[in-house]
Amino acid sequence: MSQHPKQKIHVRCNKKEAPMSDKTKANQEFDWANLDSDAGYLAWRATKLSRAEKCLSEAPVALSDLANPSESERKEVIRRCQESNFAVYSAPAETDDSTVRRQLRGFADAFGLRIAEAHRSEGEQGIVALRVSDTPEQRGFIPYTSRGINWHTDGYYNAPDNLISGFVLHCMVQAAEGGTNDILDHEIIYIRLRDAHPEYLRALMHPQAMAIPENVEKDGSVRPVSVGPVFYPDPQTGRMQMRYTARTRSISWRDDPVTLEAEAWLRNYLAKGDPLALRARLQPGQGVLNNNVLHTRTPFENGADTDLTRVMFRVRFHNRVGEI
């Protein structure tokens, strides 16, 4: 098709959107929960893998105002979340605590995200500052130390009616060293499992695959036992969500040989690393909005100064990042 140079630019913009609707269609046509049929799987798989590959070299989405992204910025973030379940963005750095909280509320609103409340370390309105902390309610919990955190999705211990479908991790201050996040779309792990061991995938979709025992919190409240599948459909959209932790303490896997093999395979596979995982050391003003994908954190070291004392804001959501 020959085009006037100006039109070419226009066509390229359109091209950007055309595959997106194809992908949306592919997502609707592919029933990921049905392992008895390969209908739609290969097409969906090919799209996912090529998109994930491309995503590794994409620059963060530049946001001129975190609290109020423009329509084109918003669409680009949503497109990335639709295709790869996460979007890294870069906004002007802001260091005032309450300003960033206000900005993050605006950001969540711009994407129609419902902030999950009632977390033990909930700061102002469900926005949690992750930093090394010795306060009684945070002491001993890994996120509030400088230790590394193994592969997990957020809120894997939550009750089935309180699952986390998305979150944003926003960097306020970087550590002097370390504090890198590895990020992996859980739909890529689904592909790895389905290709290598579909029987493992089936076991991990069992409604009793993974249980987190009841826990008595420091304030005396009881977090009830949480039993459920590793892969499950988002209640509103049917899109795949994952509930997982690679930790082996305080987790009880369904006592069935295939489930136990699946758990070991998955843990070893993630430890080796997937070539489509993104490694990001977020800088102040940068963040990752996502549909609760798999992620890690490497250990970090704070500097002597507060401007080298790592602070990340985290906001969890009960719904996925909106559709365009």
Residue 313 is a binding residue for Fe ion (CB under 5 A)? no
Dihedral class, residue 112 (left if φ above 0, else alpha if ψ from -120 to 50, else beta): left
What string marks each residue from 146 to 165 as x (binds Fe ion by CB under 5 A) or -? Answer: --------x-----------
Shortest Å distance, C-beta 30 to Fe ion: 27
Residue nearest Fe ion (C-beta atom): 154
Shortest Å distance, C-beta 35 to Fe ion: 28
Residue 186 is a binding residue for Fe ion (CB under 5 A)? no
Shortest Å distance, C-beta 189 to Fe ion: 16
Residue 76 is a binding residue for Fe ion (CB under 5 A)? no
Determine how many CB atoms are found less than 10 A away from the CB of residue 10: 11
Q: Which is nearer to Fe ion, 76 or 154 (CB)?
A: 154
Q: Name the token pair of 309.
A: 């004392």
Largest pairwise CA distance in the chain: 71
Residue 245 is a binding residue for Fe ion (CB under 5 A)? no
Query: What contacts 48, CB < 8 A, 6 or more positions away?
Result: 83, 185, 187, 188, 191
Residue 83 is a binding residue for Fe ion (CB under 5 A)? no
Residue 73 is a binding residue for Fe ion (CB under 5 A)? no
CA–CA separation, 96 and 84 (whole Å) = 31
Q: Which is nearer to Fe ion, 27 or 226 (CB)?
A: 226
Count of residues engaged in binding Fe ion, rule: CB under 5 A: 1
Shortest Å distance, C-beta 145 to Fe ion: 13
**Percent helix, strand, coil in the chain (nearest 5)?**
35, 20, 45
Q: Which is nearer to Fe ion, 67 or 212 (CB)?
A: 212
CB 211 within 8 A of CB 319: no
Q: Which is nearer to Fe ion, 51 or 314 (CB)?
A: 314
Q: Which is nearer to Fe ion, 154 or 263 (CB)?
A: 154
CA–CA separation, 228 and 242 (whole Å) = 10
Q: Which is nearer to Fe ion, 90 or 181 (CB)?
A: 181
Residue 277 is classified by DSSP as P
User: Phi and psi for 220 in degrees, rounded to 5?
Assistant: 90, -10
Q: Name the token pair of 69.
A: 């992204």
Residues binding Fe ion (CB under 5 A): 154
